[in-house]
A = this chain, B = another copy of it.
């Protein structure tokens, strides 16, 4: 998905938020903001939003150092999600349609973006997502694709959301490679975050080799790219993976919640809606 002009205010907000989480004082926050403004002033719109987001986060790291601004947030959301795990697991076990319930929970977990509320709201999200409409056709296609594959490459999104991914992975009944970021960016899961959520017990963990948001293939390691090229079925979580891979073909299934008006327009789904969408071809996103 290309970058829209509406994304610009969001890049500013992301830079400012990251600077604050790194403890920058007012003067250094202003410095970050001025540099992001300069960066945005020299942009071409052919990049995807995560490619520009990557530049913004690199800039923040260059100016303020190589910390993990969202460490506390990631640990807290992982704890919150783990506390729900037994209850969520029962939901799947008792469901008539286990795969559908597990898909819905994986989408529900996508609410755990930097800036979401406490665990009380997390359970409310679970209940909301269980009741929202999900396209039956694409669920059938996913089921069919699962039947014809020896394994799944699963592209993770946020820490904490990992716990919800675990439930879906347990329901898939095929071997899964769970791909996470090589280093901290936003509240995206790294190997450490995935281990804290117990993902190493249900999948083989793999670093993408990149610390950019989403999956920017040219910034990933050769090892990851080989795994990606060889995968018959890819499950990709969250907006940033959709933004970077939406035209990579029907091997991909995107699971996400719609959190911004730009993606809402691109997908034809309202903000707050849930999405299970099969990938399209270059120039012909589905």
Give bound CA distance, A34 to B38, whole Å: 10
A16 at the interface (CB under 8 A from B): yes
A30 at the interface (CB under 8 A from B): yes
CB within 8 A of A5: which of B29, B38, B41?
Answer: B29
Give bound CA distance, A40 to B30, whole Å: 11
Give bound CA distance, A33 to B6, whole Å: 10
- Please state the number of chain copies in the assembly: 2
Please provide the chain A residues from 20 to 40 with a CB less than 8 Å away from any CB of chain B in the complex: 26, 29-30, 33-34, 37-38, 40
Q: How far in angstroms is the closest Cβ of chain B from A19?
A: 9
A10 at the interface (CB under 8 A from B): yes
With A37-B41, A41-B38, A45-B30 known as contacts, the answer to whether A5 contacts B9 (CB < 8 A) is no
Q: Write the A57-80 contact mask toward B (1 if CB under 8 angstroms, else 0).
A: 000000000000000000000000
Q: On chain A, which size bracket covers the interface?
A: 10 to 19
Identity of the chain B residue whose Cβ is nearest the Cβ of A30 in the assembled complex: B5
Identity of the chain B residue whose Cβ is nearest the Cβ of A29 in the assembled complex: B5
**What B residues does A37 contact at CB under 8 A?**
8, 37, 40-41
Identity of the chain B residue whose Cβ is nearest the Cβ of A38 in the assembled complex: B41
CB within 8 A of A16: which of B5, B26, B45?
Answer: B5
A12 at the interface (CB under 8 A from B): yes
A281 at the interface (CB under 8 A from B): no
Give bound CA distance, A70 to B41, whole Å: 27
Report the 5 A-B pairs with minimum CB-CB distance, sorted nearest first. Answer: A9-B9, A37-B41, A9-B12, A9-B13, A37-B37
